[in-house]
Chain A
Amino acid sequence: MDAHTTSEAQAHPGYGTFIKVWVVLLLLTGTLVGLSHVGQTAAVWGLLTLTPLKAGLVFYFFMHLKYEGPLLKAVVLVTLGTLLIFFALLFSDVAFR
């Protein structure tokens, strides 16, 4: 059976974990800003790599995905996968027009 565990089963993380994550998020934001001053290409690369990383941290820690069972993780992955496919298929038109 899937994911019928509840978070009560695990030990709760404390304040420290989340504050650390917050600091990392701020650092990443700073890097992103820095990259945008380097130039357009760097900014786009930053956008493509660091932003998903930031979002991932929020999902994983702030939104407690780390502490949830496989079901919720699957839900998020399915959603992101679907969006990615929508994107790719749309670009099969947009990019080749």
Chain B
Amino acid sequence: MTEHVHRDDFGSRLGMWLFLVTEMVLFGGLFIAYSAMRHRYPMEFHQAGAELNATLGIINTVVLLTSSLTVVLSIVAMQRGDKKRTIGFLSSTLVLGLVFLIIKAFEWSAKFHHGLYPNAPHLATLPPGEQVFFGLYFSMTGLHGLHIVAGMGVLAWVLYMVIQNQVRADRYVHLENAGLYWHLVDVIWIFLLPLFYLAA
């Protein structure tokens, strides 16, 4: 168990998990704000939720779930010393992340087109609860999008390290940690989907 090299993989993972704790609480705060607002405006949230394009939301869920799968598979490949496959899986995650962002961009621009964005003159004519709904929608999906971008950055960096053999079968905690981050971003989306697209 104790390697000769001075290294504490469990310590690194613990540190990563503690960092994830802060991320969970960060989004947790948003979810709490969402529930408080939804409690106040149940009808308006229902109305406004109908404006969102559920199909795109569902497609994006499938995309993200799959990307999560490929990350975890890349770790399995790494454990088996299969560098080629690791690279393959990681790259497909990156591609899926990009697909997610592109779909998101289409969705957002459609909303902009309809004047459904914060401070839009059209939005200001809607009932207050719907304005709050769209405020939350843009804040939460926007922040989530930023995390996707960050996660892709981290994964790309790990991919580089895999190619450079700095991340290897006997030393892959960086890959694990990057994967953890990506999964967390996925989990957040798992919650965003029903909150905004399905059950609003």
Contacts and interface: CB of A to CB of B under 8 A. Distances in A.
- Are A and B a genuine interacting pair, yes or no? yes
Interface of A: 3-9, 12-15, 18-19, 21-22, 25-26, 29, 32-33, 35-36, 40, 43-44, 46-47, 51, 54-55, 58-59, 61-64, 68, 71-72, 75-76, 79-80, 82-83, 86-87, 90-91, 94-95
A35 to B, nearest CB: 8
A34 B199 CA distance: 11
A51 B188 CA distance: 10
Interface in B124-181: 176, 179-180
A92 B157 CA distance: 45
A43 B198 contact: yes
B198 A36 contact: yes
Contacts of B25: 79, 82-83
A47 B195 contact: yes
Interface residues on B, range: 35 or more
A71 B21 CA distance: 13
A29 B58 contact: yes
Contact of B61 (A29, A63, A94, A95): A29
B35 A76 contact: no
Contacts of B198: 32-33, 35-36, 43, 46-47
Interface in B1-59: 1, 9-10, 13-14, 17-18, 21, 24-25, 28-29, 31-32, 35-36, 39-40, 46, 54, 58
Contacts of A94: 36, 39-40
Nearest to A29: B61
B58 A86 contact: no
B66 A6 contact: no
Contacts of B190: 51, 54-55, 58
B187 A59 contact: yes
A15 B76 contact: yes
Contact of A18 (B18, B32, B58, B69): B69
A73 B149 CA distance: 27
Q: Which of A36, A40, A86, A87 has the most CB of B within 10 A?
A: A36
B148 to A, nearest CB: 15
B66 A75 contact: no
Contacts of A95: 39
A64 to B, nearest CB: 7
Contacts of B176: 64
B7 to A, nearest CB: 11
B101 interface: no
Given A6-B10, A40-B46, A47 B183 contact: no
B123 interface: no
A14 B194 contact: no
A3 B36 CA distance: 37
